[in-house]
Amino acid sequence: MNCFAPLVRPDSRILILGSFPSPLSFESGFYYGHPRNRFWPMLADLLGQPVPHSVDEKKELLIRSHIALWDVLDSCEIKGASDASIRNPVINQIAPVVAGSPIRAVFFNGAKAAQLFAKYCPPLAVPSFRMPSTSPANAAWNFERLKKEWAAILPYLQSQED
């Protein structure tokens, strides 16, 4: 199975990269579909927006906020949602997407996304940051701690005129 198409717009200011969608994400039809994944509540809280529930609401939140979203892997062999079980990765072509856009920074949602990118992808011309995973498996990070760390995206989302 292949990952979702990237949600990248001509006015995207940051790119958030995960590793590969979970089975529940595939079932829901969009990124971070596990009901206990804290990505959508955390992002909405950081941006002062209501938590999106439908795929359309999630896409609208990203578009309104100038956030691009994708995964490092296009496909792989994986057991369930276990990043540790990833085998035979096929990498997405991320550098051309970033180079052809106003994206100012890339944020990796979790260590595995950052590791896969570092191992298989060419360096980018914009800064990149490994962020703590929003996965429910990352129990060491509570919601407030995640939100505080992920607040690093906010300066990159501001308009150049701000």
* 14-156 classified as CATH 3.30.2030.30: no
Query: What's the pLDDT at 67?
Result: 98
Query: What's the pLDDT at 24?
Result: 82
For the stretch 80-99, pLDDT in tens is 766 777 788 889 999 999 99
Segments of the chain with pLDDT less than 50? none
The DSSP line for 72-122 is SEEEEE-STT-GGG-EEEEE--HHHHHHTS---EEEEESHHHHHHHHHHSP
Query: What's the pLDDT at 66?
Result: 97
